[in-house]
A and B are shown apart, each in its own frame.
Chain A
Amino acid sequence: MNFLEFEQPIAELEAKIEELRYVGDDSDIDINEEISRLQKHSQDLTASIFSDLSAWQVSQLARHPQRPYTLDYLQRLFTDFNELHGERNIADDAAIVSGIARFDAKPVAVIGHQKGRDIKERIHRNYGMPKPEGYRKALRIMQLAERFKLPVLTFIDTPGAYPGIGAEERGQSVAIAENLLAMSELRTPIIATVIGEGGSGGALAIGVADKLNMLEYSTYSVISPEGCASILWKSADKAEEAALAMGITTQRLDGLGLLDAIIAEPLGGAHRDYDIIAQSVKETIRQQLDELQQLDLDELLDLRQKKFRSYGFTQ
C-alpha cells in the first residue's frame, strides 16, 4: 500500500500491525487481540482523517498512483470488451482506450482516458493526456455507437489535453471543439463518469453527457491547481490555495447543479478496493442507463440541450 503524506498516521499504525503479525508468527504469545484492537483503531483513524479532507488532499487522492484507471473498470464492469484502435488517419493514441462491449449483456460503446502504472506504461499512455488523434478516435467510436444504437459510457481521468507542438499542429482546439458539438447532438444516450482527474477541456472532450457522475474523491476543474496557481498567484507552489479556490471537489461541485450522482468510495479511497468501487460505479450506471433508455431519442436530445443551456450564473 502506498500512503500519501496526510495518511502518515494511518501508515504508521498499519506498519505496527504488520510488525505484530510478523512477531505473532514465531512466538506463542497470543497477540491477535492486540492486532484487532489496532486494526479497529486504524479504521477509526482513517474514517476521521477522510471525513475532513482538504481540496488539495482530494486532488492527491484523485491522482493516487494506485487509483483504479479506466481499464480496471472495463475489466470489472463489462464482458466481451473489444478494443477498437485508431482514428483512421495518423496514429492510435494510447491515452484514450475505446471499444465495444457488453454491460449486463446489453451492447454498449466505451471510451476512457488511460494512465499508466509504471514509467514505461506512463510514457506509452502519455500520462493520460490525449492528442488530437485521441479525441478523433473517441469521436469515431461515438459515431459508430450512434449508427448501431449503442449507448456511450465514458470514463474521465486526465490531467488535460496534451500541450505539445505536434498536438497544436494537428489542431488540438478543433479536435476538442468538434467533440463538444458532436456529443451535444449524438443520437444515443451518453453517461460520463469522472473516476480520477477531470482536467479541463481535455476531460470535457469526452464528457458532454446526459448524466455526469463523479467518484467521491475525484476532481473536475477548468485548469489544474498548479496551472491556476502559476497564472493567478504567479507561483505553482500555491496549488493548494488554487485547489481550494476553484472548488474542484465533489463536495464543492455538488451545489452547482452539474452532477447527477456522486459515487461513494470505500474507506480510504477507491484504490483500497477496486472491486467495491467498480460495483458502485456499475450500480449507478445501470440505473441511469435504464432511465435514459426509456426516453425516445428526440426527448433525450431535448433534455440534453436544456441541461447544457442551463449552465451558468448571471444576474
Chain B
Amino acid sequence: MNWFKKLLPSRIKINSATRRTVPEGIWTKCVNCNAVLYRAELVRNIEVCPKCSHHMRIGARTRLEYFLDAEPRQEIGAELKPVDALKFRDSKKYKDRINQAQKKTGENDAMVVLMGRLISMPLVACAFEFDFMGGSMGSVVGERFVRAVDTSIEYAIPLVCFSASGGARMQEAIIALMQMAKTSAALGQLKRKGIPYISVLTDPTMGGVSASLATLGDINIAEPKALIGFAGPRVIEQTVRETLPEGFQRSEFLLEHGNIDMIVDRREMRDRIASLLSILTHQPAPV
C-alpha cells in the first residue's frame, strides 16, 4: 500500500474483489490485456480488443452475422440433430451432454451453415460453435459440412468455413473419426468442379478438424494468435519432455513454417475474403 492510499478514509478504499467483477452487458474485460471495455464498443469492433487487438472467441451465429451481408440468408441442415448411437457415457451420459450443450448454446450441434452473400457475392458459409462440446465434430457436423459442399456445387458458388474445434467428438468414437474421411471426400468433389474453398482457422483448431476439412482450403487463412495444430500442446510436452518453443502452434508460428497462406485480422476478413474469391472466380473486384 502506498502512502496516498494510507491517507484515504477506509470507507472509500477500493475493494479488489468487487473491482474485478464488471456488470454484465455494459462493461467487459479483455481476457488478454485486462483492459475494461465498453461492451458496445467491443461489438462495433467485431469482438477484437481495441487496446491490444486480441481476437476473442465468438459463437457460430455471431461469426456469420458479422461475415455475411444482412440479406439474404438461408440455413442449411438445421433440421439435423445428434444421436447417441453408441450409448456413450463417461462421468456423464452423452445424451445429457447434448442436452446441456443445446441449452447453453441454443444450437442443435456444433456447426451452423448459411447460404448468403458477401459484398453481394453469393456463397455458402459454415462456422463451428466452440461452446457446443468444444466445437467437436460428430455426425451432425460432418453431415452439415457435406451439405454445405453439396450446396456450393449445386449453385456453383464458393465455400468458406470458420473452424473452432477441439477435434473429433470422442462420444461418437469411430463414427466421429470417419467424419474426417467423409468431409475430406466431399471437398475432393468440390475441388474437381473448380469451386473455391477458403478455410479460416480460428482459436482453437485442433485434432481431427485441423487434420481434415480445416487445412484443405484452396487458401488457408488464420486469425491472429489462434492455437492451431494436430496434437494438443500438453500431449506433445509429455511425449517429447521438452519445453515447447515460444509461440508454438500459434498462427504466426504456422505462417513462419509455411503451413498457412496468411493471417488476417477479423476486422478485415470480409474485404480480404471477397477480394480472394473475386480473383479466383474471375469476377470484378468487389466494391
Binding site for B on A (CB under 8 A): 161-165, 167-174, 176-178, 180-181, 184-185, 200-201, 204-205, 207-208, 220-223, 227-228, 231-233, 241-242, 245-248, 252-253, 256, 258, 304-305, 308-309, 311-315
Contacts and interface: CB of A to CB of B under 8 A. Distances in A.
B185 A180 contact: yes
A312 B182 contact: yes
B212 A312 contact: no
Nearest to A182: B188
B185 A208 contact: yes
B188 A185 contact: yes
A221 B184 contact: no
A32 to B, nearest CB: 49
Interface residues of B, number: 65
Interface in B64-92: 80-83, 85-86, 88-91
Contacts of A174: 215, 259
Interface stretch (B12-20, B32-40, B244-252, B269-277): B244-252
Interface in B194-208: 207-208
Contacts of A163: 230-232, 235-236, 239-240
Contacts of B174: 220-222, 246-248, 253, 256, 258
A178 B185 CA distance: 10
A256 B181 contact: no
B123 interface: no
Contacts of B124: none
Contacts of A167: 230-231
Interface stretch (B3-11, B47-55, B99-107, B139-147): B139-147
B227 to A, nearest CB: 11
Which DSSP category, helix, strand, loop or mixed, fits chain B's interface? helix
A313 B177 contact: no
B139 A312 contact: yes
B176 interface: yes
B178 interface: yes
Nearest to A199: B177
B152 interface: no
A222 B211 contact: no
B85 A169 contact: no
B174 to A, nearest CB: 6
B170 A184 contact: no
B140 to A, nearest CB: 5
B175 interface: yes
Interface string B135-172: 00011101100100000000000000000000011101
Contact of B208 (A185, A222, A252): A222
Contacts of A205: 211
A201 B187 CA distance: 17
A183 B185 CA distance: 8
B181 A161 contact: no
Contacts of B170: 222-223, 228, 231-232, 246
